[in-house]
A and B are shown apart, each in its own frame.
Chain A
Amino acid sequence: MFEILTPLFVSLIVGGTLVGIIFGAIPGMTATMAVAVCLPLTYSLGLENGLALLLGLYVGGISGGLVPAILLGIPGTPSSITTTFDGYPMAQKGEGEKALRIGIVASLVGGLVSLLVLDLFAPTLADFAIKFSYVEKFLIIFFALTVMAALSSDMLLGIFSGVLGIFVALIGTYDISDGGNGNLRLVPPGTEYWLESGFSLLPVLIGLFGLAAILEQAEIGVPKGHSSKDINVGRHARFSFGVFRGQSINLLRSSLIGTFVGILPGVGGSAASIISYTNAKTFSKTPERFGKGEPGGIIASEAGNNGLTGGALVPLLSLGIPGDSTTALLIGAFTLQGIQVGPLFIGNNPGTWDAMIIAMLIANLAMFAMMYFAIRYFALVVTIPKHILFPVILMMCVIGAYTINYGIMFDVWTLLIFGVLGWLFTKLRLEVAPFIIGFILGPSAEIYFVKSLESFGDVTIFFTKSWIAVLLWVLIIGSVAGAVLMAKKNRQIAEEPV
């Protein structure tokens, strides 16, 4: 088993993890993009070495997303969106380094838990995953959508923003590859050429979070001679593992949620971190602290999205079905080598299976070592004067938007449009976070809802399909009730005389 540990194998994992972290840390670049760029290299490397590189890129790319999410408030990847909710407020309070270390430790735990689950239970979990039909998948997405209520400072406006996000996400073609009819919907006449494929997620994300923030800063203006050095990186806010005291259940639950969501093909990493975050807030004794710099929020988000890494390999290796967009690319590495993944893969290829598990383990440890000890240097990004930092961020955002779909100029326009919209949102008191969650989850919700009705006939199926559906309704109702009680409590506190 350990004869695979050649210097080349280990170097490819470590190198891949480093490149992945860099891709994840640059707004607009993702783990998926890192894997896509390096996929052709794997042809000459051979299967095990090629997978070592790609798995390093995968783990690094997912983990690297927390750096801009915490330091700049721009999610490096869609799955690190919930990391911004508490990470960025902590950075603004001068606890950036502490927040980064919390995220890195949570990422490691999430990655290792999911790897353990993958190694021990992959075929069994794949059998469980196929019990989730359109109905159960819709209810999981619906459960994730309930976070819109919990995240909003004004529940009505928050839910409106979320529904607006869903609406905007549905612009374009009802794609035949999603089981749709291929027809256009919500596309104004004359814009068909550009809006045929709708708005891409990443340009929307970095427009709303990145460009909008820069526009807001531009509006305020940067005083001459002033720099971001007044934002304390956090040398004084020392990190201690004590911050995880009382968080072990959150850590384990979020890791398992990430793993579980990963094994469900099509649900995706964003849903993993959003569901983990919702649960952490719902079960917290101090939910009012979430969104204002609560370490538990970062733990939930990062353990959740890294938990996805092992989980998403379960359906890939046991059913030949990718769990998320990045593992879909990994199939390319197998097919380029003439290897078929499917239910016989693990039994027929024990050497490759062992190599993948070892590669994932080393990638997680390498990610931790590189990020934990280099984080002080990452964190220095906030000390760069804004008049230098912002143009660089803007340039990276534009390059990222242009490259995400292999050079489509409309994606750059999307970035600019949603940057301006994000800036207008603050003027109109609309909320960006529920909007983007609606935008991310809306298309999946639509597909699973429509396909459920097409397949099973009427809406009662959502309540009667299976015990899993009933359990999911309990969670949905619990989450909504928690959000309503929380809103009431906040209102009472606000109305109390000082």
Chain B
Amino acid sequence: MTFTRRTLLAAVSAAAMVAAPLAAEAQNLPRNMRMVIGSTSTGGDTYQNSAIVAEALAEKLGINIKVDAVGASEGFKALARDKRGTTIMMFHDQSFLGNLYGVTGYADPFADYTVGPTVAINPGNAYLVPADSPYQTMEDIFAAAESGTRVRVAIQPGGVSEIGFTAMKNAARVRAPGSEANIVAVNTGSQSDKNQAMWDDLADVINGSIQANEQFTQLDPSDEKAMRFVWITARPETLEQAPEAGMGNTTRADMLGYASPETSVTLDGSEDFTFDKEFFLLYNKDMDPEIIAAIDTALTELYDEGKIQERQKDAFFIPDFLPSEAAREHLTQKRDTYRQVIDEISSGS
């Protein structure tokens, strides 16, 4: 799938949506809506992004929308219970990655729920090493694995951090079959656990985010907490939409240096693996299509107006609106690509 095709899909769908008058669709909307999120944290990117979208949607539709950080499992349950449309869910790729990795509580979102519009990308999914690490680049990491050195990567299993780890193993396998066995997971939990694993010398590489870890990359290298980026998984097209100043002291140009094609983690020997952490809405499978259409129309108008994009960019998100139908097609293809990577590494190692 290419950027051009996505843009085309978005444009066609958006034009169709704008043709329907919002007022007529909105009259069936519940007056009070609850947006559950797939995270229990109100300090994370899911809450932040949901708060931006919920506030804009509520204003546009003239209804109340409250964001509740209930977590993935409880969020899916709440969604499954409510056919009236008073509960909607905001989550990201972990909703289908959790299912692909077989994590408890993760049903197939495409089969058991209705996938709604995408709204934004967090381009910050990254991998870091200690400042004094012998590994300067991903090339060094793959070379170490090829030479028989175990490289320990701290991840939280079953989600966004594991897909990058899977891609690392897959790239090692493509480059030198058998070397993937030397890239091993250190099963940690939250971001703080991953950082602590690095400081305890339990991990050589950690999954992190630009937002949470950039400050550690600015510390004096002699500081035991200092880190360095080695890989950012986002597509270069996505990062190019980030503010030029980047985040903290890491500019957009710096970030592009850690992403494909400057930093290559191969998918199949010819193409690089990339991953954008994308946020989208999920609905109950039997929710009234009119409510879904009203939300699509409202979001189309909001993205046409352009203010929501500014707020998302201020919070270091990349605006990424696709109406429901286009989003479903895009996310289904995305899921299939990652399923292939997961299947190949599962069967090959």
Contact = CB atoms under 8 A, between A and B. Distances in A.
Interface in A332-354: 332, 334-336, 338, 340, 342-345
Contact of A342 (B51, B189, B212): B212
B189 A331 contact: no
Contact of B248 (A321, A329, A340, A455): A340
A94 interface: no
Nearest to A40: B51
Interface string B183-218: 000111111110111011010000000011111101
Contact of A335 (B157, B186, B199, B315): B315
Interface in A165-185: 173, 175-184
Contact of A322 (B43, B48, B74): B43
Contacts of A183: 104
Contact of B215 (A39, A40, A340): A340
Interface residues of B, number: 57
A468 interface: no
B130 interface: no
A182 B218 contact: no
A196 B104 contact: yes
A39 B213 CA distance: 24
A344 B226 CA distance: 11
Contact of B74 (A266, A408, A451): A408
A127 B157 CA distance: 28
Contacts of B213: 342
Contacts of A196: 73, 104-105
A130 B43 contact: no
Given A176-B156, A343-B216, A335 B314 contact: no
A286 interface: no
B117 interface: no
Contact of A329 (B42, B105, B191): B42
Given A328-B42, A340-B215, A319 B225 contact: yes
A130 B225 contact: yes
Contacts of B216: 342-343
A178 B47 contact: no
Given A133-B200, A406-B36, A332 B42 contact: yes
Given A184-B104, A328-B41, A343 B157 contact: no
Interface of A: 36, 39-40, 43, 127, 130, 133-134, 173, 175-184, 193, 196-197, 265-266, 315, 319-322, 328-332, 334-336, 338, 340, 342-345, 405-408, 447, 451, 454-455
28 contacts: A40-B67, A43-B51, A133-B200, A134-B200, A176-B103, A176-B189, A178-B189, A179-B193, A181-B157, A181-B187, A184-B104, A197-B73, A197-B74, A320-B212, A331-B43, A332-B41, A335-B45, A336-B51, A338-B316, A340-B211, A340-B248, A342-B214, A342-B216, A343-B219, A405-B70, A407-B78, A408-B70, A455-B200
Given A181-B187, A182-B105, A196-B104, 5 more contacts: A179-B156, A184-B104, A320-B215, A332-B43, A407-B78
